[in-house]
């Protein structure tokens, strides 16, 4: 893996955590900062991202916390985020793909893509691929992607990834989380020769504002949250996969409660993983970029 280009071991490890201005992303940022990491917080709202970065500095006692702003439902914004990481840092040790969304009504992004799938899968796919050169320059580089047990309700129709033919918000969310696992599987295969590991996880059913979407959820939320875990518990597996020496060299796995677990059978289909990768290349324009390069 070209150890001559590695940073000195005394240099703080650098992590980019998407969707880290709230919820389990913020908690992961706080805990890694407390461990002495250099943390890049990412959010959609610049004022909120700056405020959270300053709060994390105070709470952790670590001044090495930066923030970047991007709407990850936009592929051009994802490209801009990657370019800024390249320009400002030139390397990355861990990419924690944490940003997520669920839309109960179908919404379309500026690119013409269904918003849940664009934010939860295409952004992970494009950002990770664009930052692979920076990860190769990192120390023990890892890609960690937050999936969900909701993947078990998802079914991928490669002829209708954007749910044009029928939209149910929670089912589309499940499809996007299934895509996270298939993406991780194929990413691990492709990056193992580069020394980059890739794993994904289910954080648990977390009591956070992520699910505050109104409608029926407003009625059942108080009861449902009696069975939920808090954000500190929800962030544990993300932090474990980003930082623990126990998973050094482990790649292509799905974790629950800091342990490898078996996802639904379709999520282990190598042909489906390859097919999704190729579809994602076309949707994000990555295939054209690769050919041009």
Give me the CATH number covering residue 197.
Answer: 3.40.50.720
Domain carrying residue 36: 12-285
Is residue 292, in this structure, part of any structural domain at all?
no
Q: In the predicted model, is pLDDT for residue 225 greater than 70?
A: no
Sheet holding 142-146, edge to edge: 65-69, 38-43, 14-17, 94-97, 142-146, 197-202, 254-256, 259-261
3 in a structural domain: no
Whether the CA torsion 291, 71, 47, 91 is positive or negative: it is: negative
The catalytic position among 113, 124, 173, 254 is 173
With 80 as the cut, is the pLDDT of residue 48 above it? yes
CB half-sphere exposure, 137, CA atoms < 13 A: 12
In a domain, 4, yes or no: no
What residues form DSSP beta bridges with 146? 201
Q: Within a domain: residue 1?
A: no
Catalytic annotation present for 173? yes
- The number of distinct structural domains making up the chain is 1
Judged against a pLDDT cut of 70, whether residue 1 lies above it is answered with no
Q: Is residue 7 part of a domain?
A: no
pLDDT at 205 over 80: no
pTM, rounded to two decimals = 0.90
Please state whether beta strands 65-69 and 94-97 pair in parallel, antiparallel, or not at all (unpaired).
Answer: unpaired
Residue 190 lies in a domain: yes
Nearest of 263, 101, 271 to residue 186 by alpha carbon? 271
Does the residue 210 lie in any domain?
yes
Q: What is the pLDDT of residues 133-185, one digit of tens each?
A: 999 999 999 999 999 999 999 789 999 999 999 999 999 999 999 999 999 99
CA separation (Å) from 229 to 161, 207, 262, 279? 31, 6, 21, 35
**228 vs 176, higher pLDDT:** 176
Bigger pLDDT: 162 vs 102: 162
């Amino acid at each position: 893996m070209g150890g001559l280009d590695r940073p000195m071991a005394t240099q703080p490890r650098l992590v980019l955590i998407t969707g880290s201005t709230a919820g389990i992303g913020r908690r992961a940022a706080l805990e890694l900062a407390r461990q002495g990491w250099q943390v890049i917080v990412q959010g959609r709202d610049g004022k909120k991202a700056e405020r959270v970065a300053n709060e994390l500095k105070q709470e952790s006692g670590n001044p090495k916390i930066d923030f970047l702003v991007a709407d990850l439902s936009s592929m051009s914004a994802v490209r801009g985020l990657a370019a800024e990481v390249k320009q400002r840092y030139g390397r990355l040790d861990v990419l924690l793909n944490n940003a997520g969304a669920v839309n109960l009504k179908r919404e379309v992004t500026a690119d013409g893509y269904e918003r849940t799938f664009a934010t939860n899968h295409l952004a992970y796919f494009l950002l990770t691929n664009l930052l692979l050169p920076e990860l190769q320059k990192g120390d023990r580089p890892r890609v960690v992607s937050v999936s969900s047990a909701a993947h078990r309700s998802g079914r991928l129709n490669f002829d209708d990834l954007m749910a044009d033919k029928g939209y149910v918000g929670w089912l589309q969310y499940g499809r996007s989380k299934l895509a996270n696992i298939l993406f991780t599987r194929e990413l691990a295969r492709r990056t193992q020769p580069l020394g980059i590991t890739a794993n994904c996880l289910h954080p648990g059913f977390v009591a956070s504002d992520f699910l505050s979407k109104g409608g029926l959820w407003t009625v059942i939320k108080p009861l449902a949250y009696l069975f939920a875990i808090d954000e500190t518990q929800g962030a544990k597996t993300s932090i474990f996969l980003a930082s623990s020496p126990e998973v050094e060299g482990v790649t292509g796995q799905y974790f629950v409660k800091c342990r490898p677990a078996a996802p639904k059978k379709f999520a282990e289909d190598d042909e489906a993983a390859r097919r999704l990768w190729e579809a994602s290349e076309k949707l994000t324009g990555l295939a054209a970029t690769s050919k041009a390069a």
